[in-house]
Amino acid sequence: MNKKILITGGAGFIGSHLADELLRAGYAVRALDNLSPQVHGEKAKRPDYLDDDVELIAGDVRDPGMVRKALSGVDAVYHLAALVGVGQSMYQVQRYTDVNNVGTAVLLEALVEQPVERLIVASSMSLYGEGLYRAPDGQCVGGACRTLDQLKVREWELRGDGGETLMPVPTPETKPPSLASVYALSKFDQERLCLMIGKSYNIPTVALRFFNIYGPRQALSNPYTGVLAIFASRLLNNKPPLINEDGHQRRDFVSVFDVARACRLALEVPAAAGQVFNVGSGRNYSVREIAERIADALGKQHIVPEVTDKYRMGDIRHCFADITLARELLGYHPQVDLDEGLVSLASWLEGQVAIDRVAEASAELAARGLTV
């Protein structure tokens, strides 16, 4: 008999790819998803890309009755349901806290009554705040941050106590959190709650800290989604990608296909229980480079990115993944390089309609004093 897996948020970008991965591996899949208009559009219907073999329950993870129904007969749970967006979280504080934190609490109370063989929770690189840095003398610096005075005069790079420029290096799971946004706080809360309750009630639990995920099925009309999708949305509307600061901030961009494989491994590898893993590509790129490469992939090389020279509250300078632990314990090896991944994304983008709300979102943040 096939094991049945529940994915909260299973009709979304990551959840639907995870469902495909699990179905190929022989699992039965159920998805609980509220079909949020910000992600799925106003019609809030089952997305065409969701495999027909996925049993979809349209409901909210904050609804105890709906969660209990979704858990019936389930062997394991992936908790992906969450509002996503650093900028938006800084003014929709109650909404983000309610969906992400309270939703997780409701799920966990239900799991106490209906335990499963494994719980995997989607965490985020955002909880690191700034990544790990190295000083010129070779010492690691894990708690560095930028002051508002520094940002106001457009000094973007992090500096040590003596004014020396710090060099970003791959960030391991051992780096202490530095929570720079409401979204980051909520993801840390999700991660810690799941690991805590999992340990207390003997539910083997794994937390996966996702880095910048890209690929087909991203919500192109959501101005708070991943940066690659935001850039693509602008380019599809023949508008320049808007780049905060100077564009030289560095991130780890990982294909959703690799992320789905990492998620399956977190379910299947016994040694993963109780662990926290970075899930990235193990490579890093500047945001400016990413904007140029997606423009090339879409044949929009003539559209030059617009560098805003502005800072958005909650943003950090550099953070990219050290994936050594995932390689060693999970056997996770990223298979999709950036060029291949962008070709796949560009192919899917052909014919897609993207409502560009980026300028509207930027104006909202500026009106609230959340950019400098």
* pLDDT one-digit tens code per residue, 28-48: 999 999 998 878 777 778 999
Give the whole-number percent of the chain exceeding pLDDT 70. Answer: 96
Which pLDDT tens digit goes with each residue over 223-270? 666 788 888 889 989 999 999 999 999 999 999 999 999 999 999 999
With a cut of 60, say whether residue 54 has pLDDT above it: yes
At residue 369, the pLDDT reads 75
**pLDDT computed for residue 353 by the predictor:** 74
Residues in the chain: 372
* Residue 183 annotated as catalytic: yes
DSSP-derived letter for residue 119 is: E
Segment 299-305 long-range contacts (CB within 8 Å, at least 24 positions apart): 300/235, 300/238, 303/235, 303/238, 303/239, 303/240, 303/241, 304/240, 305/231, 305/240, 305/241, 305/242, 305/243, 305/247
Q: What's residue 294's pLDDT? A: 93
What mean pLDDT comes out for the span 160-175?
Answer: 94
Q: Are strands 212-214 and 242-243 parallel, antiparallel or unpaired?
A: unpaired
Judged on CB neighbours under 10 Å (0-12, 13-18, 19+), 97 is middle
Q: Which tens digits make up the pLDDT trace of 324-358?
A: 999 999 999 999 999 999 999 988 888 777 676 66
End-to-end CA distance of the chain: 57
Domains of the chain: 4-367 (3.40.50.720)
Q: Using 50, 70 and 90 to split pLDDT, how confident is the model at 361?
A: low
Hey, how many other C-beta atoms are within 10 angstroms of the C-beta on 20?
Answer: 19
Specify the pTM: 0.94
User: How sure is the predictor about 73, in pLDDT bands with cuts at 50, 70 and 90?
Assistant: very high
Split at pLDDT 50, 70, 90, the class of 362 is: confident
| Mean pLDDT score, 90-119 | 97
Report the share of the chain in percent with pLDDT over 90. 79
Given this model, what pLDDT does residue 250 score? Answer: 97
Q: What is the mean pLDDT of the chain?
A: 93
Contact (Cβ atoms closer than 8 angstroms) between residue 36 and residue 47: no
Per DSSP, 138 falls in state: S
Give the pLDDT confidence score for residue 355 in this predicted structure: 74
Measured between alpha carbons, how far is 125 from 113 in angstroms, rounded to an integer?
31
Query: Would you place residue 365 in the very low, low, confident or very high pLDDT band (cuts 50, 70, 90)?
Result: low
Of the candidates 133, 183, 214, 311, the residue annotated as catalytic is 183
Q: What is the DSSP letter of 79?
A: E
